[in-house]
């Protein structure tokens, strides 16, 4: 099942929990063993595996113990400068979103669709 097709948060959390459970079982670890290695409570791990919400830190600790932390680079790759940024700012990544004054003025002139 592809995660991108799960539109509800509950379904996505349940699928993530199912996958984490399968990785844990594949490593022949009990919930108690993984929880101890990750430094979290067994009940916290149970909640994570059942698709309940937990803290991001808990997820990171469990991913680290399952040797899956490196997969976060695939999920959220390191930002790279775009070619125009390299030319414009000597390769520095932009620090904020800039808008031209004209774009800001157009936004403030909001009208209903039936107005000319």
Mean pLDDT by 10 residues, the chain (116 residues): 76 91 95 96 96 94 93 86 67 70 60 68
CATH number, domain with residue 17: 1.10.260.40
Q: What is the pTM of this model?
A: 0.66
Question: Is residue 33 a part of any domain in this protein?
Answer: yes
Residue 6: count other Cβ atoms within 10 Å of its Cβ: 15
Question: Is residue 76 a part of any domain in this protein?
Answer: no
Count structural domains, the chain.
Answer: 1
Question: Is residue 25 a part of any domain in this protein?
Answer: yes
Question: Is residue 83 a part of any domain in this protein?
Answer: no
Question: Is residue 56 a part of any domain in this protein?
Answer: yes
Question: Is residue 39 a part of any domain in this protein?
Answer: yes
User: In this predicted structure, what is the pLDDT of residue 55?
Assistant: 94
Question: Is residue 50 a part of any domain in this protein?
Answer: yes
Range of the domain at 21: 7-70
Residue 100: count other Cβ atoms within 10 Å of its Cβ: 8
Question: Is residue 109 a part of any domain in this protein?
Answer: no
The whole-angstrom distance between residue 23's C-alpha and the CA centroid of its chain comes to 19
For the chain, the 3-state helix, strand and coil shares in percent, each to the nearest 5, are: 60, 0, 40
């Amino acid at each position: 099942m592809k995660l991108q097709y799960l539109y509800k948060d509950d379904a996505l959390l349940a699928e993530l929990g199912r996958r984490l459970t399968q990785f844990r079982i594949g490593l022949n670890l009990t919930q108690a063993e993984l929880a101890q290695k990750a430094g979290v409570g067994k009940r916290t791990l149970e909640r994570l595996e059942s698709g309940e919400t937990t803290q991001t830190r808990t997820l990171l600790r469990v991913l680290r113990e399952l040797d899956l932390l490196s997969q976060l680079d695939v999920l959220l790759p390191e930002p790279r400068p775009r070619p125009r940024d390299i030319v414009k700012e000597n390769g520095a990544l932009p620090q904020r979103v800039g808008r031209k004054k004209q774009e800001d003025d157009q936004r403030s002139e909001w009208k209903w669709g039936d107005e000319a």
